[in-house]
Structure 1
Amino acid sequence: MGKLDGKIALITGGSDGIGFATAQEFLTEGAAHVFITGRRQDALNEAVKKLGSKKVTGIQGDTSNMADLDKLCDVIKKEKGHLDILFANAGIFEVAPLDSVTEKHYDNLFNINVKGVLFTVQKALPIFVDGGSIILNASVLSVKASPSQSVYSATKAALRSFARCWTVDLKERKIRVNALSPGPIETSVLRNIFTTEEEKKQAYDSMASKTVMGRVGRVDEIAKAAVFLASDDSSYVTGIELFVDGGAGQV
């Protein structure tokens, strides 16, 4: 018996990193079907291949594009009829000092990290089961300041507010909404920021030093927390921000 036996799940941004690892965990825990999205068809195809299950469907699309979201929900409705779990994971990370913030930087982050999450959830609601679970992938930066990350941090703080408000909006349907906030995690997005191994090592050492555990986290550690919030193990948990950050945001 798995914790997600028979559940239909959607994970946005599932081609790699946290989204991909969560898809693996959902399948391990018995999910009947997992839909994953990604903006690049080649990366999405590779992810579906690596997951190696007929219980996975990859749907190419951009969560900030309304037509792509409509297509996504139409496919899920046609193939499975409903959703039990939504992990709104798709997002981007960009940095800019305050005096260098541009309109493009702001729009890129808010369009994908905030607008995309809002309308992913809104458009999924007609096919969402009462009593289901919605998880928003936020960040420890929703509560911690970091240089040159003010706009990114603001997008993640918005998701924390969404979790609170939507918990109230959806209480009659008994849909639980929670924010999952990772600390520094080893992902391709993080790795690709650095141009040299020495630069990467210095950055990772710096991030690790800000955690109580003295290390950067793994994607599977976030995925296991997502399973908890998606399953009946968290049946009395709603409206929270669950930090999976090695203590970085708490101590």
Structure 2
Amino acid sequence: MSVYPDFAKRVFENNVTNTTHRTPYPAVDPTRPELSQKGRTVFITGGSAGIGFAIAKAFIRASAAAVIISGRRQHKLNEAIAALTKEAETAGTGTRVSGENVDVFDPEAIDKLWAGFAAKGIVIDVLILNAARMASATGPILSLGSSRVWETMEINARSLLLHTEKFHQQPKGDKPRAIINISTQAIHQCHKEHVPIVAERPEYSMTKLAGTMVMQYVALDADPDEVQILSYHPGSTYSEAWSSIGVPEEFMPFDDIQLPGNYAVWAASPEAKFLHGRFVWSSWDVDELANGPLRKRIDSEVDFLRVGIFGLRGENLA
């Protein structure tokens, strides 16, 4: 049972789509021909465990030409590469799997990483921005120390911009590309009356909000026919991030981690182009978003599902 009696309700229930999901479902199945990633090279930051690993598996099942994951612990990276290589063999997709032992938050390491891609003639078609710091320290923002908070800002916001800049500087190709930002519900459920465990960690909410805003601004100037950009909350799946802040697996009934894994493939497909520049939840039914009553708001309201000020639309009340 949840430590916070109302926590699960706030996390899982919503009125955005009539149907919500906590496990994989057919519309986001990566083996659907419409979601095929054939010919694409995918780079996933933080892909050796957790959601990043689930995303890597999904892109393999979607027949990506190559999946590259990053990690800072060589033994975990080796284990993940071996498991993903076996996944590719079992699926029969022929996906090439490789890894980069690198600190994807460090500017110099990022420069070296992307220079290495260029030197090897590797062009990244799909960039998955998954790596982040899950704040372990709790307390008011001013009690955490500006040095620590700013370091988290550099990890959760600046690194996204650095990777995206390198991605943008690649040679232009004839295939559409995609950038998927793994965001979080914490960017808009950051008060005690929303989710207490999030409110206790303001540096996480603040820095992930900043990172999502970075990608939103990049999307404003990007042609979705050339590079499609989408941010999403991956649901509440149990991972090392939860464990690192002392949350036990029994805390609540966590989501199936393969749901956000599969969702990343859908988000990088042409079917998700109508959500370019938006923030969504992986639990929201994609068919309802695409074909239901919300589609009109998505197409007509410039601020809808974007980071902004609650209660205002431009200079007017929302």
Same fold (TM over 0.5): yes
Equivalent residue for 2:169, pick from 126, 129, 132: 126
Of stretches 119-128 and 73-82 in structure 1, the one that deviates more from structure 2 is: 73-82
Q: Secondary structure at the match of 2:207?
A: helix
Q: C-alpha distance in 1, partners of 2:255/2:143? A: 30
Q: Secondary structure at the match of 1:236?
A: helix
Which residue pairs with 1:212 in the alignment?
A: none
Q: Unpaired segments of 5 or more residues in structure 2?
A: 1-32, 89-94, 191-197, 286-304, 306-318
Would the aligned equivalents of 2:180 and 2:231 in 1 still touch at CA under 8 Å?
yes
Would the aligned equivalents of 2:157 and 2:214 in 1 still touch at CA under 8 Å?
no
Q: How many residues align?
A: 234
Q: C-alpha distance in 1, partners of 2:131/2:155? A: 7
Which residue pairs with 1:81 in the alignment?
A: 122
Which residue pairs with 1:141 in the alignment?
A: 186
TM-score, normalising length from structure 2?
Answer: 0.67
Q: C-alpha distance in 2, partners of 1:20/1:135? A: 15
Which residue pairs with 2:248 in the alignment?
A: 200
Which residue pairs with 1:175 in the alignment?
A: 227
Of stretches 183-192 and 88-97 in structure 1, the one that deviates more from structure 2 is: 183-192
Q: Unpaired segments of 5 or more residues in structure 1?
A: 206-214
Equivalent residue for 2:160, pick from 88, 103, 117: 117
Of stretches 183-192 and 165-174 in structure 1, the one that deviates more from structure 2 is: 165-174
Please, what is the CA RMSD of the aligned residues? 2.4
Which residue pairs with 1:107 in the alignment?
A: 150
Q: Secondary structure at the match of 1:160?
A: helix
Aligned CA distance change for structure 1 residues 118 and 224 (closer, same or farther; 3 Å): same
Overall identity of the aligned pairs, in %: 24
Q: C-alpha distance in 2, partners of 1:225/1:80? A: 28
Greater Rg, structure 1 or structure 2?
Answer: 2
Which residue pairs with 1:13 in the alignment?
A: 46
Cα displacement string for residues 18-75 of structure 1 (whole angstroms, at most 9, x for unaligned residues):
1111001101100000111112222111211111256111011112212211222123
Cα displacement string for residues 136-155 of structure 1 (whole angstroms, at most 9, x for unaligned residues):
11100010013211110011
Q: Does 1:223 align with 2:223?
A: no
Which residue identity lines up with residue 239 of structure 1 in the other structure? Answer: G
Cα displacement string for residues 110-162 of structure 1 (whole angstroms, at most 9, x for unaligned residues):
12111111101111212264631101111000100132111100111112212
Would the aligned equivalents of 2:224 and 2:276 in 1 still touch at CA under 8 Å?
no
Q: If each structure's strand is expressed as a fraction of its own residues, which one has the higher value?
A: 1
Which residue pairs with 1:96 in the alignment?
A: 138
Which residue identity lines up with residue 232 of structure 1 in the other structure? Answer: P
Aligned CA distance change for structure 1 residues 31 and 88 (closer, same or farther; 3 Å): same
Would the aligned equivalents of 1:167 and 1:177 in 2 still touch at CA under 8 Å?
yes
Relative contact order, CA 8 A, sep 6+: which one is greater? Answer: 2
**Which contiguous aligned blocks of 4+ residues in structure 1 show a shift greater than 3 angstroms?**
78-81
